[in-house]
Amino acid sequence: MSTETKLERPQSLTTTAKTHIREAIVAGEFSFGSQLSESVLANRLGVSKTPVREALLQLKHEGLVDVQPQSGTFVFQPTDDQVREICRFREVIETAALRFAVLRDSAALVRRLEETLTADDEVGAAGGSAAENAATHPQNHHDAAFHGAILDCSGNPYLQASYRLISDKINALRSRLDKDDTKTDLCHQTHSTIVALIRGGDIAEASKELSIHIRSTEESYIRASQCARGDAASHIVRQRRAGASTDRRAP
Ligand SMILES: [Zn+2]
């Protein structure tokens, strides 16, 4: 084994650990505010604590975990105000990206967005109620694909980098939406309206619809984060009553 290969290995384990922890946070497997134990995560991933520690540090810089000295490492827990700030930031970035994408290649943007709508239709055709579909999150996936396509088509790396500051947090909030949220169908309908407006050349109205759409999700996301916070708080209380050790408190 070459020295070069040896040097690459720890980085690869850190990346793997980071991907795994990020996905578990985004998917809701690790609740908002829940404690993350290096040793539990290391056992679960079959690695030493070093890459886990490095992965947690990197996720801290991305705002997905919160390191509290003397207390431990916790999954981020957005306040109501932070959720609002995320949504307002998102509105600014996405509407700017939409304008750039139209100027760059409007037909390509429409094609990309239509692909995500077709995927939505296929989910519906595959069977299951809206609530069942929401339970397995395919609609959430397609919602992320629709909004991500606008950023991709903008062709502006600075806007794309700005969006990445919040995209995992948006996905984390999205995956915690109420399973019976009837806005799933409405979301598909709004996406179709936005695509039709772009196709028809009414970009001002398309941008307005996109703004309204993002604002309409704000209260749903706040409710989702409040429920998730409640889950985490009751989880910690249960663990403390059970006299769990620090490691056993971790997910
Ligand atoms: Zn949407």
To which residue do tokens 């409007």 refer?
A: 106
Q: What is the mean pLDDT of the chain?
A: 82
DSSP 31: P
d(C-alpha 171, C-alpha 173), whole Å: 5
For domain 80-228, which architecture applies?
Up-down Bundle (1.20)
For domain 3-77, which architecture applies?
Orthogonal Bundle (1.10)
Confidence at residue 149, expressed as pLDDT on a 0 to 100 scale:
97
Query: Which tokens is 182 given?
Result: 């009837």
What separation in angstroms does the CA of 160 have from each of 41, 61, 85? Answer: 31, 18, 18
Please state, for a pLDDT cut of 70, what percent of the chain lies above it: 75
How remote is the CA of residue 117 from the centroid of ligand 1, in Å? 11
How remote is the CA of residue 213 from the centroid of ligand 1, in Å? 7
H/E segment holding residue 152: helix 138-154
- pLDDT tens digits, one per residue of 43-97: 999 999 999 999 999 999 999 999 998 899 999 999 999 999 999 999 999 999 9
- pLDDT tens digits, one per residue of 104-114: 999 999 999 99
84 C-beta neighbours (distance < 10 Å), count: 16
How remote is the CA of residue 45 from the centroid of ligand 1, in Å? 34
Decide if 3-77 and 80-228 have a common fold. Answer: no
Helix (H, G, I), strand (E, B) or coil at 165: helix
How remote is the CA of residue 214 from the centroid of ligand 1, in Å? 7
H/E segment holding residue 36: strand 35-36
Confidence at residue 72, expressed as pLDDT on a 0 to 100 scale:
93
Query: Which tokens is 19 given?
Result: 């991907």
- Whole-model pTM: value is 0.77
How remote is the CA of residue 143 from the centroid of ligand 1, in Å? 5
Residues 6+ apart with CB under 8 A from 243: none
Query: Which tokens is 153 given?
Result: 């088509």
H/E segment holding residue 225: helix 203-241
- Domains of the chain, by residue range, sit at 3-77, 80-228
Name the nearest CA neighbour of 101 among 148, 171, 144: 148
Residues 6+ apart with CB under 8 A from 197: 203, 205, 206, 209
